[in-house]
Amino acid sequence: MELITGENISILIFFVGFAGLMLKRNVIKSIICIGIMQVAIIIFFLSVGLSPENVPPIDATGLQNVADPLPQALMITDIVIGVGVTATALSLFIHMYHQFGTADWEKAFKLRKDSEE
């Protein structure tokens, strides 16, 4: 089976985003990495059972090898969730930046621990 399919690429991108989450200490980069994982999931869903000669599912009641409409509908929901989550996370980050003065996870963590004592 050929190697470059939608699923394999999306798995790679997903774990690239996951690695970014683990390695990067900047909060904005973590939010971007979550966005990358979101995109990987969307690619994965859309390439379920996809072949080059698929026809878009519009006005295709009798046709052959039509693209599967269900993942596309689910991904509309997932994109809007991505928008909502990123907007909340960014506005929260601005608040956090003004409170702690740093965009670094470790520094913010130390500041919060000192403020707790």
Partner 1 sequence: MNKLKTVSIIILILVLVITVFVLFNYSESDNSTAEYYVENSEKDTAATNAVTAIYLNYRVYDSIFETLILLVSVSAVIHFSWRKDHE
Partner 2 sequence: MNNILIYLVLFPILTGSFLGLLKCKKSLKQRILTIITIFMQSALLAGSFYVLTFVKNSGTIIQNIGNWPDFIGITLKADMYAVAFVLMSICLFTFAMIYQLTESHIEARIFSLLLILEGLIIGIFVSNDLFNIFVLIEVATIVISLLIMYKKDTISTYDGMLYLLVNITAMSLFLFGIGMLYKMTGVIDLTGLKDILSVFPDKKALIVPYGLMLTAVCLKSAVLPLFSWLPHAHATPSAPSAISAVLSGIYVKSGIYLFLRIQNVFSDVFDTYFLFLILGFVTAVAGFMLAVSQKDIKLLLAYSTISQIGMIMMGLSMNSVSAYIGGVYHIVNHAFFKSCLFLTAGIIIDAYKTRNIDSIRGVFKKHPIVAIACVISILGITGAPLLNGSISKYWISYGAKGWAEYALIIINIGTMAIFLKFSTILFGKGPDIKMNISKIRSLPVLILSVMCLLGGILSEPIISFLFNVQMSPNLIDYLEKSLLFFISLGIAYLLYRFVISKVNLYKIASRLELGFNGVCISMGVFLLVMILYIRVFAM
Partner 3 sequence: MNDKSFLISRFIGFMYPIILLIGVYIIVNGHQSPGGGFHGGAVLATVFICRYLENPNQDLRIHYLEIFEKILFSLVLLLPVILLFNNISMNVISNKAYLLIMNILIGLKVCTGLSIIFYRFVFYEGGGLWN
* 55: contact with partner 3 by CB under 8 A: no
Kind plus residue range of the DSSP H or E element containing 55: none
- Indicate which single residue of 26, 28, 88, 112 sits in contact with partner 1 (rule: CB under 8 A): 88
- Our finding on whether 57 is near partner 1 (CB under 8 A) is yes
Q: Which of 76, 101, 107, 109 binds partner 1 (CB under 8 A)?
A: 76
User: In the complex, what is the shortest distance from the CB of residue 95 to partner 2, in angstroms, rounded to a whole number?
Assistant: 5
Q: How far is CA 4 from CA 9, 11, 37, 47, 74, in A?
A: 7, 11, 19, 12, 24
Among 52, 64, 98, 115, binds partner 3 (CB under 8 A): 98
| Contact by Cβ (8 Å): 82, 41 | no
CB atoms within 10 A of CB 51: 9
Burial-class residue 17 by CB neighbours within 10 Å (0-12, 13-18, 19+).
buried
Binding residues for partner 3, how many (CB under 8 A)? 12
Q: Which is nearer to partner 2, 65 or 88 (CB)?
A: 88
Binders of partner 2 in range 73-92 (CB under 8 A): 74, 77-78, 81, 84-85, 88-89, 92
